[in-house]
Structure formats: C-alpha cells, structure tokens
Amino acid sequence: MSLESAALVFYLDPRGHLVERVQMDGQEVHLHYRDVPESDITTLHGLRLTTPLRTVIDIAPMVDGDQLEIMVQDCLERGLFTIEEAWARIAEPDMLVDPGAIALVHLLSEWD
C-alpha cells in the first residue's frame, strides 16, 4: 500500500475531530485523529485502524437511521462483530454520551 503525494487536506468532522484526506493506492482515504482505547484498535495489512464496531460508532452520527441499519446489518452478516459485543461496548463509561453510541443504542433497541 502506498501513500501518494497530494495536497494535504484537513478538516473537522461533525463531532469536532481532526480528519486528513489523502490518496492511498488510488483511493481517497479519510484519516481520523482521535484518542481511542487500545481495545478499539486492530491491525490490517500492517496499518493500525479502528475495529469495525468502533468505526460504526464513529460514523453513526453522520448517517441517517436507514444507512446505520444497513451498516450494522452488513457487519453482523460478515461476522465483524455481534449484537452482544455492540451492547457491551456501548455500555462502557466512555460511550455514555458518545453520539454514535447513542444512535447505535436507538437502533439496537428497535431490534429487541
């Protein structure tokens, strides 16, 4: 995987976190800068990135309910996380006021 040289573009996401837009292997990639617990980090092809569940939580405030449902259903079908794992993560203290966790709570509550 190669990082292509391009003008660096930084912006703040809707949650107020720094994001950098870069080109990687011909695709636009948005690198989010934020402190997250090690339990939310995984490694893929040598790159440290957030787990699928954390990624869903982070994206949840930026999508509508239908899109969130599609994302979660896709992750469940692919075995990227389980409903039980989602409930356990969003019950942790750092998620109590997180907008993405709150959106996920609403979605999962509808499925119960």
Q: Is residue 64 part of a domain?
A: yes
d(CA 56, CA 106): 14
**How many domains are there within the chain?**
1
Domain that holds residue 68: 50-111
pLDDT digits (tens, 9 = 90+) for 31-75: 878 888 999 999 999 988 899 999 999 999 889 999 999 999 999
Q: Is 33 in a helix, a strand, or coil?
A: strand
Strands (E), 13-111: 18-24, 27-33, 41-44, 47-50
d(CA 9, CA 82): 35
Whether the predicted model's global pTM rises above the 0.75 cut = yes
pLDDT digits (tens, 9 = 90+) for 64-110: 999 999 999 999 999 999 999 999 999 999 999 999 999 999 999 99
Query: What is residue 9's predicted lDDT score, i.e. its pLDDT?
Result: 85
Q: Is residue 2 part of a domain?
A: no
* Amino acid found at 2: S
Residue with tokens 């989010």: 32
